[in-house]
Amino acid sequence: MTESSRPYCSDRCEDRFLTWLQNEPSAIRGARPPFWNIIRQFALERDGHHCTICGSSSDLSVHHII
Q: Write out pLDDT tens, residues 13-57.
A: 888 888 877 777 666 666 667 787 888 899 999 999 998 888 899
Q: How many domains does the chain have?
A: 1
Residue 55: domain span: 1-66
- In the chain, the amino acid numbered 17 is F
The whole model's pTM is what?
A: 0.51
What is the spatial distance between Cα 48 and Cα 33, in angstroms, rounded to a whole number?
Answer: 23
Chain-centroid distance of CA 13 in Å reads 8
Looking at residue 29, its pLDDT comes to: 63
Let me know: does 66 contact 51? Beta carbons within 8 Å: no
Looking at residue 63, its pLDDT comes to: 73
Say whether pLDDT at 2 is over 50. no
Beta strand extents in the chain (DSSP E only): none
Residues in the chain: 66
